């Protein structure tokens, strides 16, 4: 069982480090999707109301262990302040003079954000010792630690793993909610249990398929990963995404699905184009009939209808990965159809983070139409697979 904020006792006047995931998409300094900031609010609000001195730490982007202006968390601070309804202080470094001064200046119920964790090489260092040194410096700024960045709990990083071992630690509201929702899907799902998988890289989803072949009633495969399945069936896939190295694995999965009584549903038609372009001319072809000079860009209308029928009677649905290149309007139809069916389904519906969560927002769907939208694509997949997540295991009862 995960330790909760209640286990930390009285928080008034205590400096509480909160590992959030504020890795929001930016257009210059403009936030284009504040979903991750909003997801952090329940924990931050609870700590503020408890009178804690809240120190938010996060990464943004992939800087290489040194400061880069384009990855600064400064644009996040203003939006976080607006959502919290109070001024939020900002430290221009992570463990330096600015961080120490900013934290020491906090009063009860006030919030500060430290600069991007990944500006320090110790955050993501491969050597345990390097991460530990950085975590010790972070720990000196706080009295307690709350882990609430679900999107990074599958990473063994200083602010996720080592820091939790150095301070009294607990899971935040977001992490608790994520774990509960995803375990509800995998441990005792109400049936029929339908899994919808898409996205470009089949390698990213093989572990999930492997884990769910003994649990799901139906697995629907769309997106770029579907073409490797179709090739395994002997279909022509033209210039579509294909992972030749995984064909034998996929063929074995198809045989296991049949042996286990799991219905594996593949596209019956595909929208193709001669090139990867928003304004490329489109054609709908039957599965297996993709011309050599064309590539699959989205599931076709018949597949969208079929997938809708296969979802309609589900009691539990887990969806991860778009059905096509949803960023281009011409190829968003399949993803939009799945999102629509799930939003209307009388089922426990979990959107497994990453591009699927982004698609829900970008395509204009009301997030309240889904039972749970995960904030962590990779973390949610690894939890579904049954893998040990370092940032979760360190928060289990019995650890520091």
pLDDT at site 376: 87
Q: How many Å apart are CA 270 and CA 296, to the nearest integer?
A: 6
Residue 199 half-sphere exposure toward CB, CA atoms < 13 A: 22
Average pLDDT, the chain: 95
Mean pLDDT of 240-257: 95
Does the pTM surpass 0.85? The reply is yes
Q: How many Å apart are CA 74 and CA 22, to the nearest integer?
A: 11
Point out the annotated binding site for (2R)-3-phosphoglycerate: 36, 118, 155
End-to-end CA distance of the chain: 13
Mean pLDDT of 204-232: 94
Point out the annotated binding site for ATP: 205, 296, 327, 353-356
Hey, which bits of 129-221 come out as E strands? Answer: 144-147, 169-171, 193-197, 218-221
User: Is pLDDT at 201 greater than 90 in this prediction?
Assistant: no
What's the pLDDT tens digit per position in 68-77? Answer: 999 999 999 9
Mean pLDDT of 330-351: 96
Looking at domain 5-176, its CATH architecture is 3-Layer(aba) Sandwich (3.40)
Domain range annotation of the chain: 5-176, 189-385
pLDDT at site 186: 86
pLDDT at site 398: 64
Backbone angles phi, psi at 253, to 5 degrees: -65, -40
User: Is pLDDT at 342 greater than 80 in this prediction?
Assistant: yes
3-state secondary structure of 277: coil
Q: Give me the residue label for tokens 């900031």.
A: 37
What's the pLDDT tens digit per position in 63-112? Answer: 999 999 999 999 999 999 999 999 999 999 999 999 999 999 999 999 99
pLDDT at site 62: 94
Point out the annotated binding site: 21-23, 36, 59-62, 118, 155, 205, 296, 327, 353-356
User: Is pLDDT at 3 greater than 90 in this prediction?
Assistant: yes
pLDDT band at 377 (very low <50, low <70, confident <90, very high): confident
pLDDT at site 214: 87
Neighbours of 317 (CB within 10 A): 27
User: Catalytic amino acids?
Assistant: 36, 201, 354, 378
Q: How many Å apart are CA 260 and CA 279, to the nearest integer?
A: 43
Mean pLDDT of 24-46: 93
CA distances from 319 to 124, 126, 165, 370 (A): 29, 32, 33, 11
Lowest mean pLDDT, pick from 102-106, 185-189, 280-284 = 185-189
Choosing among 3.30.1450.10, 3.40.50.1260, 1.10.3720.10, 3.50.7.10, the CATH entry for 189-385 is: 3.40.50.1260
pLDDT band at 399 (very low <50, low <70, confident <90, very high): low
User: Is pLDDT at 400 greater than 80 in this prediction?
Assistant: no
């Amino acid at each position: 069982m995960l330790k909760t904020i209640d286990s930390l006792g009285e928080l008034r006047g205590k400096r509480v480090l909160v590992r959030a995931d504020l890795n929001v998409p930016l257009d210059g300094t403009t936030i284009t999707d504040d979903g991750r900031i909003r997801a952090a609010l329940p924990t931050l609000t609870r700590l503020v109301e408890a009178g804690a001195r809240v120190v938010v730490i996060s990464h943004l982007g992939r800087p290489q262990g040194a400061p880069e202006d384009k990855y600064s968390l400064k644009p996040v601070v203003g939006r976080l302040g607006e959502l919290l309804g109070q001024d939020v202080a900002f430290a221009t470094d992570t463990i330096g003079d600015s961080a120490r001064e900013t934290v020491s200046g906090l009063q009860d119920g006030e919030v500060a954000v430290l600069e991007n964790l990944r500006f320090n090489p110790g955050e993501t260092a491969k050597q345990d010792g390097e991460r530990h040194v950085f975590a010790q410096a972070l720990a000196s700024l706080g009295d307690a630690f709350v882990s609430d960045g679900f999107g990074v709990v599958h990473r063994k990083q200083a602010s996720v793993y080592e820091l939790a071992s150095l301070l009294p630690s607990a899971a935040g509201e977001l992490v608790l909610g994520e774990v509960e929702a995803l375990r509800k899907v995998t441990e005792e799902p109400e049936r029929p249990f339908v899994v919808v998988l898409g996205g470009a890289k089949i390698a990213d989803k093989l572990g999930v398929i492997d884990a769910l072949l003994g649990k799901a009633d139906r697995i629907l495969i769309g997106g770029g990963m579907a073409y490797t399945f179709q090739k395994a069936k002997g279909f022509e896939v033209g210039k579509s995404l294909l992972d030749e190295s995984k064909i034998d694995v996929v063929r074995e999965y198809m045989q296991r699905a049949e042996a286990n009584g799991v219905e594996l549903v593949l596209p019956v038609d595909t929208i193709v184009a001669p090139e990867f372009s928003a304004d490329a001319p489109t054609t709908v072809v039957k599965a297996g009939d993709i011309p050599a000079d064309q590539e699959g860009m989205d599931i076709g209308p018949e597949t969208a209808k079929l997938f809708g029928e296969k979802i309609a009677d589900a009691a539990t649905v887990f969806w991860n990965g778009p059905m096509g290149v949803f960023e281009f309007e011409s190829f968003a139809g399949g993803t939009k159809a799945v999102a629509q069916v799930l939003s209307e389904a009388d089922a426990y519906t979990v959107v497994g983070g990453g591009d699927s969560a982004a698609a829900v927002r970008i395509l204009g769907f009301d997030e309240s139409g889904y039972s749970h939208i995960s904030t962590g694509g990779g973390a949610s997949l690894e939890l579904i697979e049954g893998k040990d997540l370092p940032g979760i295991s360190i928060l289990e009862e019995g650890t520091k």
